[in-house]
A and B are shown apart, each in its own frame.
Chain A
């Protein structure tokens, strides 16, 4: 009896003390970090910063320059009508960072939702339907009637609503769900950019949209990841290709929850910035921009010299948790097709 006791105790001790070993790859691979430290491993590399694997479901690269102008028609009085169809859902689980799966709430299936773009004076008509399990709305920033504000008219599961208003004023605006608790609906991903162009248009430029956002994947009221256009570190491992001496216009929207202040820092050049994009005179010439929750800015800049330039939150906590990226500026003088 004593012996049995001793055997049982020692075997169970060994079971806990000696780690279980699973089948492992034996081929060692060298693994170099961005700080230049190298180690050799026979295991897996987990590196969201230098990620080289397959693309995730949401593609920040195509989102960057993707503008939704709607279905365009002309009314009898000559007004341009732009119709958009937006569907809200709250049941998707998406791989938001390599290996991290998070329940996103979406407009048209992505976080952020589509960038809605109209010209000043257009009639905007948004056919909204809620296919989620909770109430949702679309609240647009801008000038419109109270009943088109998307705040008091909750659209329940399976419900529909048509928002209609004139596109005014010119600028970079925002839309998001305004159902209580708003923080939860925004943190889960129900937001997007709303751009109203001036009638006369803006100077031709390479136009980019950056929605500065975060992901609180463990619901503790603090962001686990930060990013520009959702996927942490995306433009770090996939630098944005631009050309020197070409005007870049960046539409920057800060929709970050939980942290009251976010910022934007550009390397290697400075930008003119236009708060909410409503004025034609820049508010400053800077390489730093501080934005509170819900604030938007249009940035205009160009690069003089070719090369790889970072842009990131100068709040380095945010940048080291994903809100960092790079521009790869190619020389406009050089003909790149010759190299191939």
Chain B
């Protein structure tokens, strides 16, 4: 009897899907010409341009609904002979590498155009050409050092506020917890803004960049929220204290965020925006000190355990190193958007945890002047340091 009702449930779930499949078959299946009106326009998207010795390399993707052939390559609107690998025929979503032999000049802007078989030209510009980075130990060390400088060092410095926070009275402590919420909220919106900027500049429309960001932010929030609450629940029965669990979740969230930031910094160095990346690095270093503070704050009611703090700092900061490596050697705008969004979702989760923690500390209310002041001041400090980035 139970089995029979299971069948019924399964059928009631699958039934609509079968009907939907029949409708799609009717619309698109062989022999139907129901939807054969209107024009189908091909489209390609230049995803990446890099400059190697005497050669410009272009990665292009077919982002349109039909197959295309790429038939002409040009540099600054002047036709150039080129090679295209694996071949010049691109099926839907397929990518190809175009190699244009070209004696390019360092620091000069370039516009690269590709023409497809129907004569339509697609283009992308580079602000300043610079030699593509090749992986060698020196460069791995250099990028690693930058990741270390923007990730681990400022967070460790920020953690030094631990003993200061520890000495605070209850309402001042709540102020600084609220201050952390302000910092983190800003960080999350900052990440979303950067992700949408990257998706607009580098991702083709078919990826639906804004919706991708929204989806990943919410998914990451939900996943980390369920992990976080089970961690906090466990903390009631184990040695891990609740503040430590919250700090750990903050560290993990910031870790995702720093990975995304590392990708952006690595890419900025790889694409030769040197002045920009020096600026970025200094800005991130100042900006990220506040991240250390955010990790330290919830822990301040527990006993100082230096090893724990260092571990949390490493969890939050080390991803920046991996980020700069990956961003520097194989930049993928898609991956950067995804990781920045994961970071934002993770930070929202952390914000929720801290707010819950403050409410518990503050007899179930948030309408306390020091809390409101703290959040506001956190946002303002972040805004001011963000101007440096």
Contact = CB atoms under 8 A, between A and B. Distances in A.
Interface of A: 2, 5-6, 9, 13, 16-17, 19-25, 31, 33-35, 37-39, 41-50, 96-102, 215, 217-218, 224-225, 232-233, 317, 320-322
Contact of B87 (A34, A43, A224, A233): A43
20 contacts: A5-B219, A9-B219, A31-B83, A35-B103, A37-B102, A39-B83, A42-B85, A43-B84, A43-B87, A44-B84, A44-B87, A45-B82, A46-B84, A47-B82, A99-B71, A99-B117, A100-B118, A224-B115, A224-B121, A233-B79
B54 A37 contact: yes
A280 B380 CA distance: 83
A44 B88 contact: yes
Nearest to A24: B86
Nearest to A316: B78
B71 A98 contact: yes
Contacts of A33: 80-81, 101
Given A24-B86, A39-B101, A16 B71 contact: no
A41 B83 contact: yes
Interface of B: 54-55, 59, 61, 69-74, 77-89, 91, 93-97, 99, 101-103, 115, 117-121, 207, 216, 219, 223, 226, 332, 334-335, 338
Given A13-B338, A24-B87, A34-B81, A100 B55 contact: no
A151 B69 CA distance: 40
A217 B97 CA distance: 24
Contacts of A6: 223
A42 B115 contact: no
Given A20-B93, A31-B81, A101 B103 contact: no
A9 B217 CA distance: 12
Given A20-B91, A39-B99, A217-B119, A45 B83 contact: yes
Contact of A38 (B59, B77, B88, B101): B101
Contacts of B83: 31, 39, 41, 43-46
Given A5-B219, A44-B88, A47-B82, A20 B70 contact: no
A174 B220 CA distance: 69
B96 to A, nearest CB: 8
Contacts of B103: 35, 37
B117 A321 contact: no
Nearest to B215: A9
Contacts of B78: 317, 320-321
B77 A321 contact: yes
A162 B59 CA distance: 55
